């Protein structure tokens, strides 16, 4: 592992904006890659204006932008100008990875088709993220997360009932596309070690959401059932979901018959013939929910959670984000990183979700860099591009 993580020495040129591409590039940066983010001089990445909340002098810095651009350098370029195109050409010639989430055809019109990219650098891995795919009858559609959540079926599975389709509380289509994209890039870099050539990795918000349909997908493709939202309770396991006690809510997962036997031994009033097996309980889900709620109504949360832990029933609270970030377990996992922002000073960000054995640093980097201000690194990167490239001595 390199001193800055497993992708130390990899150069990523990030042409993307908003969330899916920037999230993928940030994941690569978290793993030690050098990420140069190219932004339009007129305002930069769209997310720089997404808020509130805004922070800093004159409320000028978007916390949305801060969430998806750590471990990057910002360079401003007008890619429609000759200078911008020539600078991008130089970057591509040195890069290992190019990340873009333009609508299909935009890069071609700028003069950087796939063929041209590989003429400039045969070893370049290109990650292309679109809304609904790069081809097909609707391949040219713009991709926005909530629209994709609806079109890809996720909203029909989420919410209190089939009549109230609900979006996930984060832009999950964008985030998943970024994750799948980074995963594809790492695979392509590994393949390049054998072939010496890069390739294009493609994914989309549609593909990413369909890719996580999991058992809901096979309910339709194999069993020909159309799944619908079932609120805060699992469609195939009972009891599994959100329940109420005397002073709050908690979630439990009785995911096996062995766990059910432990559960009813501790709460004998639930030992009923009609609840004898998981298929029976799923068919009688409403009655199961009511019965468990009735039992839990006599317990306070502070007493019930230890009781469930004692009998081995998986359970947990429903935390607000302040309590998540203040939780000792969250902190113990390195899920927050402190960075020095050039305007805001010391700030804390949600951190990389990976750690590597024998390395205490989240993502493998000893130091995480704050999200950049617009064009913060333009001069240093342009100067670097003028330096002669070092060519490795042949072995």
Percentage of residues of the chain with pLDDT beyond 70: 96
Instruction: State the catalytic residues.
Output: 174
Q: Could you tell me how far CA 327 lies from the centroid of its own chain?
A: 21
Q: Which two tokens stand for residue 307?
A: 């009781």
Mean pLDDT of the 350-368 span: 81
Tokens 């808020």 belong to residue: 51
Cβ neighbors of 234 (< 8 A, separation 6 or more) are 240, 241, 253
Q: For the CA atoms of the chain, what is the radius of gyration?
A: 25
Q: Which two tokens stand for residue 303?
A: 């007493």
Are 255 and 153 within one domain?
no
Tens digits of per-residue pLDDT, 166-208? 999 999 999 999 999 999 999 999 999 999 999 999 999 999 9
Residues of the domain holding 261: 240-319
Are 35 and 157 within one domain?
yes
Number of domains making up the chain:
2
Domain stop point among 291, 319, 347: 319
Residue 154 in any domain: the answer is yes
Are 101 and 143 within one domain?
yes
Q: What is the pLDDT of residue 356?
A: 86
Are 261 and 348 within one domain?
no
Are 254 and 370 within one domain?
no
Mean pLDDT of the 327-336 span: 93
DSSP states of 265-313 as a string? HHSGGG--GGGSSHHHHHHTHHHHHHHHHHHHTTS-HHHHHHHHHHHT-
DSSP states of 146-167 as a string? HHHHHHTTTGGGSSSSTTS---
Q: What is the 3-state secondary structure (H, E, C) of 42-95?
A: CCCCHHHHCCCCEECHHHCEEHHHHHCCCCCEEEECCCCCHHHHHHHHHHHHHC
Continuous segment of H or E residues that includes residue 391: none
Neighbours of 229 (CB within 10 A): 18
Mean pLDDT of the chain: 94
Q: What is the pLDDT of residue 2?
A: 47
Query: Minimal CA–CA distance to 100: which of 86, 119, 81, 79?
Result: 79
Mean pLDDT of the 360-387 span: 90
What is the rounded CA–CA span in Å between residue 300 and residue 307?
Answer: 11
Residue 373 has pLDDT above 60, yes or no: yes
Query: Minimal CA–CA distance to 39: which of 342, 377, 387, 384?
Result: 377
Domain stop point among 319, 351, 374: 319
Are 135 and 163 within one domain?
yes
Residue 231 in any domain: the answer is no
Residue 260 in any domain: the answer is yes
Residue 134 has pLDDT above 90, yes or no: yes
Q: Which two tokens stand for residue 357?
A: 């054995």
What CATH number is given to the structural domain containing 257? 3.30.1540.10
Q: For residue 391, name the pLDDT band (cuts at 50, 70, 90).
A: low
Residue 229 in any domain: the answer is no
Are 298 and 333 within one domain?
no
What is the rounded CA–CA span in Å between residue 62 and residue 384?
Answer: 29
Residue 391 in any domain: the answer is no
Residue 296 has pLDDT above 80, yes or no: yes
């Amino acid at each position: 592992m390199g001193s800055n993580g497993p992708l130390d020495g990899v150069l990523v040129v990030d042409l993307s904006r908003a969330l899916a591409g920037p999230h993928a590039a940030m994941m690569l940066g978290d793993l030690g890659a050098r990420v140069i983010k190219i932004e339009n001089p007129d305002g930069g990445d769209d997310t720089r204006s997404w808020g509130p909340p805004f922070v800093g002098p004159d409320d000028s810095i978007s916390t949305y932008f801060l969430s998806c651009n750590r471990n990057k350098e910002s360079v401003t370029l007008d890619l429609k100008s000759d200078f911008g195109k020539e600078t991008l050409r130089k970057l591509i010639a040195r890069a290992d990875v190019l990340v873009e989430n333009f609508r299909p055809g935009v890069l071609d019109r700028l003069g950087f088709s796939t063929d041209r990219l590989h003429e400039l650098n045969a070893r370049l891995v290109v990650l292309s993220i679109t809304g609904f795919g790069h081809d097909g009858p609707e391949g040219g559609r713009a991709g926005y997360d909530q629209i994709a959540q609806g079109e890809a079926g996720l909203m029909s599975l989420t919410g209190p009932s089939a009549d109230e389709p609900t979006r996930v509380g984060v832009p999950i289509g964008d985030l998943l596309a970024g994750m799948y994209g980074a995963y594809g890039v790492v695979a392509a870099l590994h393949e390049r070690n054998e072939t010496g050539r890069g390739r294009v990795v493609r994914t989309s918000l549609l593909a990413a959401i369909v890719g996580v349909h999991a058992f809901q997908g096979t309910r339709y493709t194999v069993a020909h059932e159309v799944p619908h939202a079932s609120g805060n309770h699992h469609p195939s396991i009972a009891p599994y979901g959100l329940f109420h006690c005397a002073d709050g809510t908690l979630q439990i997962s009785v995911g096996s018959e062995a766990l059910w036997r432990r559960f009813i031994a501790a709460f004998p009033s639930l030992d009923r013939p009609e609840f004898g097996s998981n298929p029976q309980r799923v068919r009688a889900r409403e009655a199961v929910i009511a019965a468990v709620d009735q039992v839990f109504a006599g317990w306070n949360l502070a007493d019930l959670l230890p009781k469930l832990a004692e009998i081995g029933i998986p359970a947990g609270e429903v935390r607000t984000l302040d309590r998540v970030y203040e939780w000792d377990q969250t902190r113990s996992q390195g899920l927050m990183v402190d960075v020095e922002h050039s305007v805001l000073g010391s700030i804390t960000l949600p951190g990389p979700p990976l750690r590597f054995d024998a390395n205490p640093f989240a993502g493998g980097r000893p130091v995480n860099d704050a999200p950049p201000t617009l064009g913060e690194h333009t001069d240093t990167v342009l100067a670097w591009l003028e330096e002669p490239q070092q060519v490795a001595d042949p072995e």
